[in-house]
Structures are given as C-alpha cells and as structure tokens.
A and B are shown apart, each in its own frame.
Chain A
Amino acid sequence: MKKKVEKFEKGFLTFFNDIKNELQQTTHHLYDDVANEAASAFETGKLQLPHKKMEDYKYSDLKKHLKSDFVFYTAPEKAKVYPKDLFVCDVPDLDAETVMLINGWFHDYDGKKLKTTDEGIVYGSLLYAYENGYKEIIDAYLNKHLNTGSPLVALNNMFAQDGFFVYVPDNVVAQTPIQLINLVSALEEVFVSPHSLIVAGKNSQAKFLLCEHSIFPKYFLNNSVMQIIALENSHIEYVRLQNAHNESYQFTSTYIHQTDNSSVKTNTITLHGGVVRNNIVASIDGKGCYNEMYGLFLVDKGQHVDNWTLIDHKQAESSSKELFKGIIDDYATGAFAGKILVRKDSQHTDAEQTNKNILLTSDAKMYTKPQLEIYADDVVCSHGATVGQMNEDELFYMRQRGISQKTARLMLLNAFAYDVIKDISVEPVKNAVINLVEKRLSGDLTRCDKCEIKC
C-alpha cells in the first residue's frame, strides 16, 4: 500500500502515527521499540531533523530538502523488474549473487526470499530471515553497535521497511561477491527507508557491492541504514556505488563494528546523487583490527555531497587508513568531516586520514573538517587535508608532449581518482568503477550506458 506524507519536514510525525500499525504489522514488529522510541525523541524535541545549526550537519542542511511531499510504501508491491536486465550496465562482467530491494522492500524476482550460495553464505530479505531461522542472530545485532541517537538512524528506524540480510557463517571464505541492489522505482516521489544487516562470522571472508539506483526521473529520498558486523578474524570488503539521478536525496548511514583481528574495507563511490549525505562509522572494538575507509565523489551542477565519517578506536593495537577524495565541478558543493577517535587505553593505534579535493570552477565550494581526538599517548595518528586545483606544472609537462589540454586534465583527474579505487580487489568491480569514473569525468553520461532506461 502506498501513502503520502505531506510536507515531510512538518508532517512526518503525524504520518508515522497514521501508518504505524500497518507498517509495524508488515515488518513483523521487528522495529517497534526503536521506532516508537525514535518518534517520541522527535516529538519531545530531543532529536531534530538535521539542520545546519547542528555541528555535525554544519555543511548539509538536510531539513531544507525535506519540505516536499513523499509517497511511502507500507508494504511491498508487485514489481516487474528483473535485476539482470537492469544492472548489466554498471558492472558488466560481474559474476555475483544478486539480491534486490525495490522501494525499500525485498524483491523476490525468482520467488526466493532467502538463498544460500554454494559457499554457504545466506542472503536475502531481513524480514523473511527473522521469521525463518535467523531470529537469534538478528536480535543480537540489529540496532546494536550503532548510534540510535543519530537523527538519520532514528528516522530510518521510524519508517524501517525491509532490508538486506547477509550471514556469512564461521569459516566460510567466499570468492563470489554478493551484489545488493537498492532500487527506487516509482512514478511518484517516494521515500524509502531500508535497514540492512551483514554479519560475518569468525574467520570468514566475503565481498559486497551495493548499487543504489533510481529508475524514473522523479525526486526521491533514500534514507538507508547498513550495519556491518565483522566478527573475529573476518575480512570484509564493501563497495558502495551511488549513481542515482540528480533529483534525489541520498542519506545513508553505515555502521561497521569490528572485533579482534578483523578487517573491513569500504569504498563509497558517489558518481551522481543530487543531495548526498553519507555517515560512515567504524567502531573498532577489538585488537589487531584493520579498517580501510575509502571514498570518492564527483559532483557537478548543483549537486551536494557530504561524507561524514568517524573511526572509533576503542581498543589497542588496531590500525585504520582513511582516504577520501573529491572533485567538485560547476557550482556544486562538497563536504567532508572525518574524525579519528582514539579512546583511552587504545595504545599502539596507528591511524592515518587523508582528504584531498580539487575545485574545477570558481563557483565550486569545498568544506573539509578533518579531526583527531586522541586520549592515548602511544599512538601514531595523522591527518592531512588539501583543497586545490590541478597542478599547472603537470599539465604543462603533458601538453609539451603534445597531449591536448582536455586529455591531460582528464588523465590527471583519473589519476587523482584512481588512488581511491585501485585497491578494490574484485577486478570486474574495480574495472567497472574505473570505467565509470573515466566516463563521468569526460562528461559522457555514466548512468548506465548499456542500460535500457534512459534517465
């Protein structure tokens, strides 16, 4: 069933009360407590929709973008989309297990809501998994190890629909990546609120690609939450590819929780997206962990991309490496906030953070806020941030060799972006991203050139 919330910013609480019973029934009461809690926090003013007077949203006045009406699906609709038909475009050669959400609800195009790979990974619908044997795991981790006080998480929980559920059992080492497709497909302006959970068991290894797409050129709001739980000695790689159209609002919250000797590598690649705010939090709650957090965004026209990250070193002997790069064109705005928090007694932490940005025009703007908050002394932490333009000497060197200015610029921008992408270990994903970035930079429409939907 679909329902309409008028003037979201003003009407979302009333709307919540209107659809609450229906939604909570469809979601098997999985989120009732957190949802009610979040609603009352908004009601009492304890929480507010993000606006620029809040330090964490200083550069992203999200509330301003929530003035319009949105349609919300309180239950899945029968859709006619087949993922393979749609998604050959972004990663053509990817041999992956694919699952899909449409408008926030799980889409069982093959009639299966939960599948198991040959290697033993269980993946599919979170709601279905909850009812079919995975209650214990979901109860143990869902809405744990994340900040329910974050306004975006709270908002997601209030309207949480379905989400991806992936469980990698202990000792399972998977070669084939799992592709998660979060699709918005509606003729009206929708908002979606998926909440997903990935749990990697002890000594397991798995790779994920999350693609976020939209089909119709209607504006929409995607306020999604992804939780990644990496248990002892597990190794996860996660690539998020944001390539929605420029009329969308993409608010995402990714919470990573790591225990002893685990490693998690994330790449957040934003090619298109309208107004994008990515909150990425890695909580490193174990020794010997490694977190690599990469991000790349290419913005033009009036787009706005804001990556807000926190790497929270809660225990000793772990390392993290963070690298975010941005290329800002036209009159677009980029923002980055990255905090490395080293808590008391997290000795021997080794944390490095880099943020580099290139402004291409005089109307482009970049705001960056790298932060170190350190409470342990025997640590090596550093951060560096730059905002600048292309190096003139490099450009001249290339032009002196007969390379046109346009080509030289492209080569330099590609090289700049490549740093973020080069360590993606799934070759087809890496090549696809390189390819997309190249096209994106050269001004060719990167949105699915092989795709049938011309948007």
Chain B
Amino acid sequence: MSNKMLEIKNLHAEINGKEILKGIDLTVNEGEVHAIMGPNGSGKSTLAAVITGKPGYEVTKGEILFYGKNLLEMPPEERALAGIFLSFQYPVEIPGVTMMNFLKAAVNAKRKYEGKEEMSAAEFLRFIREKQKLVEMDTNLTNRAVNEGFSGGEKKKNEIFQMAVLEPKLAILDETDSGLDIDALRVVANGVNKLRSPERSFIVITHYQRLLDYIVPDIVHILYKGKIVKTAGKELALELEEKGYGWIKEQF
C-alpha cells in the first residue's frame, strides 16, 4: 500500500458567489496517475485552481490535505514548494521577465526551501540544458520573456519543461492537450512519461480521451456539475469516448 499524498474531502468552492465545486472527494496516492474528465463547465479547471490556491476562489466547505498538511492555509508559493505543480491550460505571457531569470528564481526558491545552496551560474545552465533535452524542448530560452511569442505548442512544452526542472511530487496537467497537434501531443506526453516515478503522482485533466492514449491513467474520474459522478479504471475513458458526454448527462 503506497502512501497517501493528496486527500480532498467534501470540497465546495465558489467564484464570484457562484458555487462551482459541490462536494469533491478524491484521494491520490504516491505514484498514481489520475485522469479527471468531464464536459466543459463541469469544474475541472476550478479544481486545479483551488488545489493550487489561485486567488479569487473561495472554499466554502471541506478540506484539502497534502501529506496530512492543510493545503488551504498555505499561499500558492508554499503549495508549489511543497511539491504541487500546475501545468496551466493557458500559460500567461510575462513580458520583460526572461525565462532564465524566471527559472532561476523558481529553482532557487525551491533549493532554499530544501535547505540547499543556490546553484552557480554554470551549474544552473548545465541543469537547464539537461532538462531541456529530457523533454525535447528545443526553444532557445535565453533572452526570451516567459511564454512571450511562444506558439501554442511551445507554451505547453514549456510547462512540461518547467515541471521537469522543478521535479514536483504532484503534477496537475490542466487540459495540456488542448490546441496541440499530434506531434506536439506526443512530445508533451513523452515528457510526462519520462517524469513518471513511484514517488510522483499526476492529475491529468482533459476533455478528450486522446491524451490518455499516451499518458495511461490508473484511475479515471468523471466530473460533472461540480461533483465526481463516476470513478473507475482506464477503461472508463474509452467508454466515455465511445458514448460521449451525453451518456453522463442523461445519467445525472
């Protein structure tokens, strides 16, 4: 029996007074890959936002524990340092902040948190190059601002690359497949698969089954109207693909 990593209990959350999550229960153990599927507007991205602490969302009930620690009391950066990584559905462009400075700040924050020394410039460059190779990130990052002028595919690759750099315990992939052509999808999925390990868990949020051909989940949940309405093995994704979301909507 592997260790419990993330526990979400009866989570209710709202934005601008509108309740989006209406009682989510979810447990993720070390090494597991969970897929969360659901039609548009079912609350998938909200769940990711609430786990990572995005401002503007209010949790009205329930709790989220990460290795037993109450996540809801922590600011976003502490959650990140604790090991939670979000691959954004829409990575923001940050003009003027170079990728290198950004990565350096992130890596050093993590090292400080872990009680390690900052990396030397040479060490850091070597480290970054290595990770770039690992996830087939061929974009030249020096002198480029964060996500600025990146194509859709490059942005998503950049997210996976940052995941490789920050080596999280739990990675949440929010619609990482949206807007990707098949080649980019393969590169992104390969990157993810290389990072799979018995200690690392994933929550893959997706609308389509397509990504799950590449990143094979252990458990599939269906989120509908703010609740997890169905949980099963990877075959559920295939069933859903076949029957469509109408099938879910009819049932609930």
Point out residues on A near B: beta carbons under 8 Å. 391-394, 396-405, 407-408, 411-412, 414-416, 418-419
Contacts and interface: CB of A to CB of B under 8 A. Distances in A.
B77 A404 contact: yes
Contact of B96 (A393, A403, A404, A416): A416
Contact of A394 (B52, B55, B94, B110): B94
B110 A411 contact: no
A399 B80 CA distance: 7
A397 to B, nearest CB: 5
Given A396-B55, A396-B76, A403 B105 contact: yes
Contact of A401 (B53, B80, B95): B80
B109 A415 contact: no
B86 A402 contact: no
B97 A415 contact: yes
A407 B91 contact: no
B12 to A, nearest CB: 21
B105 A407 contact: yes
B75 interface: yes
A393 B147 CA distance: 13
Contacts of B88: 397, 400
Contacts of B97: 411-412, 414-415
Nearest to A404: B77
Contacts of A392: 55-56
A302 B169 CA distance: 47
Given A392-B55, A411-B105, A402 B77 contact: yes
A402 B96 contact: no
Contact of A415 (B53, B95, B113, B162): B95
Given A392-B55, A411-B101, A401 B96 contact: no
B238 interface: no
B129 to A, nearest CB: 19
Nearest to B77: A399
B164 interface: no
14 contacts: A394-B94, A400-B80, A401-B102, A401-B105, A401-B109, A401-B162, A402-B106, A403-B105, A407-B109, A408-B105, A414-B96, A414-B97, A415-B97, A415-B145
A401 B110 CA distance: 9
Contacts of B81: 402
B98 to A, nearest CB: 8
Interface string B83-122: 0011010011011110001100110011001000000000
Given A396-B76, A407-B109, A419-B96, A402 B166 contact: yes
A399 B106 CA distance: 9
Contacts of B95: 415, 419
Which of B52, B53, B77, B88 is packed against the most chain A CB atoms within 10 Å?
B77
A404 B109 contact: yes
Which of A392, A401, A416 is packed against the most chain B CB atoms within 10 Å?
A401
Contact of B76 (A394, A399, A407): A399
Interface residues of B, number: 31
B217 to A, nearest CB: 23
Given A405-B77, A415-B97, A397 B110 contact: no
Contacts of B92: 391, 393-394, 397
B54 interface: yes
Given A396-B54, A408-B105, A415-B97, 17 more contacts: A391-B94, A394-B92, A394-B94, A396-B55, A397-B91, A397-B92, A397-B94, A398-B94, A398-B105, A399-B77, A402-B77, A402-B80, A402-B106, A402-B110, A411-B105, A412-B94, A419-B96
A400 B109 contact: no
Contacts of B79: 400
Given A392-B55, A396-B54, A411-B101, A403 B94 contact: no
A428 to B, nearest CB: 20
Contacts of B94: 391, 394, 397-398, 412, 415
Contacts of A405: 75, 77
Interface of B: 52-56, 75-77, 79-81, 85-86, 88, 91-92, 94-97, 101-102, 105-106, 109-110, 113, 145-146, 162, 166
Given A411-B97, A411-B101, A401 B166 contact: yes
A179 to B, nearest CB: 28
A400 B75 contact: no
A400 B55 contact: no
A402 B91 CA distance: 16
A310 B81 CA distance: 49
Nearest to A397: B92
Contacts of A415: 94-97, 145
Nearest to A417: B96
Per CB-CB distance, the 7 closest pairs between chain A and chain B, nearest first, are: A415-B96, A402-B80, A399-B76, A401-B106, A399-B77, A415-B97, A402-B109
Contacts of A416: 96
A346 to B, nearest CB: 32
A411 B102 contact: yes
A142 to B, nearest CB: 41
Contacts of B146: 397
Nearest to A416: B96
A393 B166 CA distance: 20
Contacts of B96: 412, 414-416, 418-419
Contacts of A408: 77, 105
A393 B86 CA distance: 13
A304 B96 CA distance: 26
B106 A403 contact: yes
Nearest to B52: A400
A357 to B, nearest CB: 15
Given A394-B92, A397-B94, A403 B55 contact: no
A407 B105 CA distance: 8
A117 to B, nearest CB: 34
Contacts of A396: 54-55, 76
Contacts of B53: 399
B81 to A, nearest CB: 5
A449 B60 CA distance: 49
Contacts of B80: 399-402
A81 B86 CA distance: 57
A400 B163 CA distance: 11
Contacts of A391: 92, 94
Contacts of B75: 399, 405
Which of A394, A400, A415 is packed against the most chain B CB atoms within 10 Å?
A400
